[in-house]
Amino acid sequence: MNAQESKISITDFSELLKTGLPWTAMLAITTEQMLAGEVTMRLPYREDSTRPGGTISGPHMMLLADACMYGVVLSLIGRVELAVTTNLNINFLRKPRESDLVAVGKIIKLGKRLAVLEVAIHSEAEDKLVAHSTGTYSIPPQK
């Protein structure tokens, strides 16, 4: 396997999200790129994703970050559905423009039981970060 090749395809990951995390389908979150240890996802801009003040809501950005982290973990270990979030921290850095949000998730450290990750989220309309998230995923023991 090529060092850049993911252990789960975009198609399989998208299907897993649709059945296991239906909120991603409701918000039309898509996976654009999936490499081993790096995933790019998109949250399309929608009027009903905004909060007062015209900014995309924090919970929507958190969902994007968490789904992206899940993708990064599975890109490295394969389809292990019970890999779960144990910690998620997000810093909202600036008000995103009314455009799609793009998240790029990367592995920081992968161990036998834990994965530490980060996600950078920016508005498609500009390259500045709108949010930065870090998180930890628990990986179930192999049987």
How far is 17 from 3, CA to CA, in rounded Å? 24
Is this prediction's pTM over 0.85?
Answer: yes
Q: Is residue 88 situated within a structural domain? A: yes
Inter-CA distances, 129 with 75, 79, 120, Å: 24, 30, 7
Q: Is residue 4 situated within a structural domain? A: no
Its domain, for residue 103, covers: 10-138
Query: Domain count of the chain?
Result: 1
How far is 55 from 39, CA to CA, in rounded Å? 24
pLDDT tens by residue, the chain, 143 residues: 456 899 999 999 999 999 999 999 999 999 999 999 999 999 999 988 888 887 899 999 999 999 999 999 999 999 999 999 999 999 999 998 889 999 999 999 999 999 999 999 999 988 899 999 999 999 999 87
Q: Is residue 5 situated within a structural domain? A: no
Q: Is residue 42 situated within a structural domain? A: yes
- 56: amino acid identity, one letter: I
User: What is the predicted pLDDT for the residue at 3?
Assistant: 60
CB 119 within 8 Å of CB 65? yes
Q: Is residue 129 situated within a structural domain? A: yes
User: What is the predicted pLDDT for the residue at 39?
Assistant: 98
How far is 68 from 39, CA to CA, in rounded Å? 6
CATH of the domain at 79: 3.10.129.10
- 113: amino acid identity, one letter: R
What is the DSSP code string of 1-23? --TTB-SS-HHHHHHHHHHH-HH
Stretch (H or E) spanning 25: helix 22-26
Q: Is residue 3 situated within a structural domain? A: no
Q: Is residue 2 situated within a structural domain? A: no
Find the length of the chain. Answer: 143
Q: Is residue 133 situated within a structural domain? A: yes
